[in-house]
Chain A
Amino acid sequence: MSHFKAHSVLPGFNLALGFTLLYLSLIVLIPLSALFFKTATLGWGGFWTVVMGERVLASLRVTFFTSFVAAIINAFFGLIVAWVLVRYRFPGKRIVDALVDLPFALPTAVAGITLAMLYAPNGWVGQYFAAHDIKVAYTPLGIVVALTFIGLPFVVRTVQPVLADVESEVEEAAASLGAGRWDVFRRVIFPAIYPALLTGFALAFARAIGEYGSVIFIAGNMPYISEIAPLLIVAKLEQYDYAGATAIAVAMLLISFALLLFINALQWWSSRRGTR
């Protein structure tokens, strides 16, 4: 609490804070509380029966598992993309850089239809998988493909500026002190970009959890296998069961919030350890 009492050297704290709170309330808190109010009409028992339903639990498992896998893939390959974009010069670099943002711009339904077309057993890519008896579209693997696609920009765009800030002189210094390439990466570069990477991971993960448009076209939507939680929300709305739909949404929100809080704590902890 002492932070509040101490006068900041920067003027305008009260105004800025007031504005921030108002803005957040209008944009985030009011819609969210409306969500909670709608769910509250169910009561605890009703909420519990909806959320603990076998089918809902299975869909939550599918959603969080595929989102997690996609975010891991994005963290790994996004880091490589960011690395290449920051450290090397090559013709067409600007175009490649712009390509990274495309998944943001593309309507997700279009992305889903296109991916389903490519990865279906008769598609350009899918036929090679099919030859080895691997089904991509209409399985959880297809969901991962779609979520990886839409989550790519997050990791690249969060890691890129941080990586650019790690000056190559530092690496050269480390190298001149006898560190091998792997050591330079592990002990010099990685600690610097780790928080940004974690943020990128968290963003990609969070984005994937809420994703609906691209997934339903490639998932096949089989109950218990490839049915995502947002689809069950839509199915409930189709029955005009608003409260049931918001109940699933609230459950997803709470789990996401807990996970994001955990990731933030991890980040805070690692950055404290880094400064010591």
Chain B
Amino acid sequence: MSLRVAIAEDGALLRGGLVEVLARFGHRVVVSAGDAAELLAGVAAEPVDVVVTDVRMPPTFTDEGIRAAVALRSGPDPVPVVVLSQYVERTYAAELLDSRGGVGVGYLLKDRVGDVAEFVDAVARVAGGGTVIDPDVVRQLVHQRSTPLRRLTPREVEVLGLMAEGRSNSAIARHLVVTDAAVAKHIANILAKLDLPPDGDDHRRVLAVLAYLRG
């Protein structure tokens, strides 16, 4: 399915790259903005399926993108948003996830754009209402929590990170080059160790894991 995408990124080079990547997978960039104000105006004028925005943009080069994302998600007509950040910032991720909307949300390092297929896949999952969190955020959260997360094996932490990215069991299996059954076993172990309800759909699973991680 072809998505109508709005992008906001102040670097012209990367903006061009994003347009190219999305076009390569058959999506259409209908709003291409250089800052948050332009993005909000564009989205108001043109209906879109999903927004992809940088965090740091003119005029103050601080957190314009996050504020725009929160505004877009909590407005009367919420839009799914993927926020791209140059570095993992836990407070940004928290603010974004706390913003209400009942629509998809994503928080990814800019580096992930380079893995073009996975990046476009993540954008599509968010457009479809999913939650996608960068594995680095999960790693930091896991790292800081004591028990019972420390009981997870490194492989299980890896699987947890992939779950937080909103991937299905078979997508995780493909990524780790293992069988679906092996992934199912890992996930069952993780959920048991964390005392979470066994398997819902992918989205609910991500939310449960994140809610747990954020305490």
- Are A and B genuine complex partners? no
